[in-house]
Amino acid sequence: MLVEDEVDLGNVVKQYLEIMEFSVDWARDGRAALAKFQAAQGKYDILLIDVSMPEMDGFELAIKVININPQIPFLFLTARNERSDRLHGLKLGADDYITKPFDIDELVLRIKNIIKRNTNNQEVVGRSMIERGDVKFQKDSLKLIIGSHPAIILTPRESELLEFLFNNENRILKREEILTRLWGENDYFLGRSLDVFISRLRKHLNKSNYISITNVYGVGFVFNVQLGE
């Protein structure tokens, strides 16, 4: 779904995506987009969300969408290029944050990569679960359970990162290694989003008696799993 209130830009993006064989629903404000999403019942592969819109802005829309389906990938299209806005968008779980004006072919490539990654995750994750001490991670449902605390639903990128950490426990992981192996590139904004995801996972895992994440200054992180004898 494309959520864009600028008629000219919306027409151009919709038409080009359709030329590239995407099926596109276009909503011109946040409330209309939310209504379409609620009625869709899993129809959409990705959402392209403008930030500055009447009725309901893109950030508010994203929060409501995540509450309905935390696994849906989305990216922001916006003229707002301030660092605080970018970081806020990534904190909400956006897969990307693209500022206007943008190259339409680059947008298409990013959409394809996000959809491909999300599809591969669903195929690979299967119905398996990782369990260490008082922590259970249900990969298929993106669900993290720590002791007797209520289950936590992670975003797809948080889940990717947590699985990677479980597969590399008790060793120093360099930031660039995590970024390139998980998301294929090491740039500033992916690095900042990695910090956000690590911070959120660390906050969740503070409830565990066995697992923690520590920083290695100037290098990266260690995913500590101490199960005792």
Q: Hey, what domains does the chain have and what are their CATH numbers?
A: 2-123 (3.40.50.2300), 157-225 (1.10.10.10)
Strand order in the sheet with 74-78: 26-27, 2-3, 47-50, 74-78, 96-99
Cα separation of 115 and 203, whole Å? 29
pLDDT per residue as tens digits for the range 199-228:
999 999 999 999 999 999 989 999 999 875
Q: What is the pLDDT at residue 122?
A: 53
Q: Which amino acid makes up residue 34?
A: L
Which residue is it, tokens 């990938």? Answer: 73
Q: What is the pLDDT at residue 100?
A: 87
Cα separation of 196 and 104, whole Å? 28
Q: Which two tokens stand for residue 160?
A: 């990717």
DSSP per-residue codes, 196-208: HHHHHHHHHHTT-
Where would I find the beta strands (DSSP E) of the chain? Answer: 2-3, 26-27, 47-50, 74-78, 96-99, 129-132, 135-138, 143-146, 152-153, 172-174, 211-216, 220-225
Q: What is the pLDDT at residue 190?
A: 75
Q: What is the pLDDT at residue 228?
A: 59
Residues of the chain with pLDDT under 50: 123-127, 229
Q: What is the pLDDT at residue 125?
A: 43
**Cβ atoms within 10 Å, residue 34:** 19
Q: What is the pLDDT at residue 67?
A: 87
